[in-house]
Amino acid sequence: MKTIVYKIGDTEASVWLSEAEKILKEGGLVAIPTETVYGLAANALDEGAAARIYEAKGRPSDNPLIVHIADMDMIGELVSELPDTARRLAEHFWPGPLTMILPKSEKVPYGTTGGLDTVAIRMPSHPAARKLIHETRIPLAAPSANTSGRPSPTRAEHVFDDLNGKIEMILDDGPVGIGIESTIIDLSGETPMLLRPGYITREMLSEVIGSVEVDPAILEVNKDKDFRPKAPGMKYKHYAPKGSLLLVSGDADKVVEKICLLSDEKRKEGFKVGIIATDETKDLYRCDSDCIVMSIGTRSDEDTISHNLFDILRRMDKAEADYIYSESFGEGIRGDAIMNRLLKAAGYQQIFV
């Protein structure tokens, strides 16, 4: 299959819109930019189209998809119930990087929800995604547009690297803004529960709807075989770069020292080493040709860190790093969201110094 790439800024909206609509109506796949990460979109009400998403990504079929809408008129046919908490959160955070789990309507096929009686709904704020959904009126099932297990795509090139030849179209609108996937909150049970941390924090949610519990599986190390996160996708190995990633946590100067030590050892053994540093520390690492230092952003603005996180993991792969050592970023208000992704990428390999 030939994958067509449209650069949104260089193409008349009427052109990419009508081409994308045609593909979606025929059950095809279009990768779209959103404010969080690129999504791989198909008609959420078409079970065959949803099946193609799983096939293209190599995604386990019990891992449900998020359905994207453009306005509140579209939610009625997708859910069997809209609790007051959901309305209030929608007013505050939609369009934006928040996904709500709600009881599904009969119209939403089990092929989209991975066999669950609930459906995940999000109203993205990205102008191109909104325009496409608004004009076509098609609710779009869209997981992140990466091969299952690989870092989520924050640029159209990432989508191309993973899915070229497997999907009909990529809409390229450059790098995304936020860089980590939406916050997921489950509103289908008694108490609202955070299933995936993201840009919208637990505190921000609590300010609107009161107490929010946190799925204990979120930051826990997967030691227990019965570990079963409520968002099925949270249980899979995720975001993994090809090299072995280790997170080093502790006081900044000790962390730098430890990473230098570890990387010297591996380089002596003949391995290529990658170091994930920050603007503040990048010049403190002694490195030569067998070692690459990349800054993930600045500690004075943690949004720069989430923005670059998945890109840096992919760049480490391109640089063929065998061992990757990363500083840790748990301190800020989005520390949970950032560390959740990095810990999964590291297969929970972390040391404290």
By CB under 6 A, name the binding residues for ligand TXA. Answer: 34, 36-37, 39, 63-66, 97, 99, 101, 113, 116, 118-120, 122, 124, 142-144, 181-182, 184, 195, 230-234
- The distance of closest approach from Cβ of residue 152 to Mg ion in the complex, given in angstroms and rounded to an integer, is 5
Other beta carbons less than 10 A from residue 76's beta carbon: 11
- The distance of closest approach from Cβ of residue 103 to Mg ion in the complex, given in angstroms and rounded to an integer, is 23
CA distance 252 to 281: 8
- The distance of closest approach from Cβ of residue 259 to ligand TXA in the complex, given in angstroms and rounded to an integer, is 30
| Residue 185 interface partner, choices ligand TXA, Mg ion, none, CB cut-off 5-8 Å depending on type | none
| Residue 158 interface partner, choices ligand TXA, Mg ion, none, CB cut-off 5-8 Å depending on type | none
Residues 6+ apart with CB under 8 A from 242: 317, 320
Asked if residue 99 binds Mg ion (CB under 5 A), the reply is: no
Residues 6+ apart with CB under 8 A from 311: 151, 154, 155, 158, 175, 179
CA distance 195 to 206: 14
Nearer Cβ to ligand TXA (30/259): 30
Q: Which two tokens stand for residue 196?
A: 């995936």
- The distance of closest approach from Cβ of residue 261 to ligand TXA in the complex, given in angstroms and rounded to an integer, is 36
CA distance 108 to 78: 6
Q: Which two tokens stand for residue 315?
A: 């760049």
CA distance 332 to 155: 25
Nearer Cβ to ligand TXA (215/327): 215
Task: Return the range that interacts with Mg ion (CB under 5 A); candidates 16-24, 115-123, 142-150, 288-296.
Answer: 142-150
* Total residues interacting with Mg ion, rule: CB under 5 A: 1
Residues 284-343 that bind Mg ion (CB under 5 A): none
Residues 50 and 111 sit within 8 Å (Cβ to Cβ): yes
Nearer Cβ to ligand TXA (28/274): 28
Among 43, 113, 118, 144, binds Mg ion (CB under 5 A): 144
Residues 6+ apart with CB under 8 A from 187: 83, 85, 86, 89, 100, 101, 102
- The distance of closest approach from Cβ of residue 195 to ligand TXA in the complex, given in angstroms and rounded to an integer, is 6
Nearer Cβ to Mg ion (144/154): 144
Nearer Cβ to Mg ion (99/144): 144
User: Which is nearest to 213 in space by CA: 205, 223, 221?
Assistant: 205
Nearer Cβ to ligand TXA (230/266): 230
User: Which is nearest to 332 in space by CA: 300, 310, 296?
Assistant: 300
Residue nearest to Mg ion as judged by C-beta position:
144
Give bridge partners of residue 351 from the DSSP assignment.
Answer: 248
Per-residue contact string for residues 107-126; x = within reach of Mg ion by CB under 5 A = --------------------
CA distance 24 to 14: 15
Binding site for Mg ion (CB under 5 A): 144
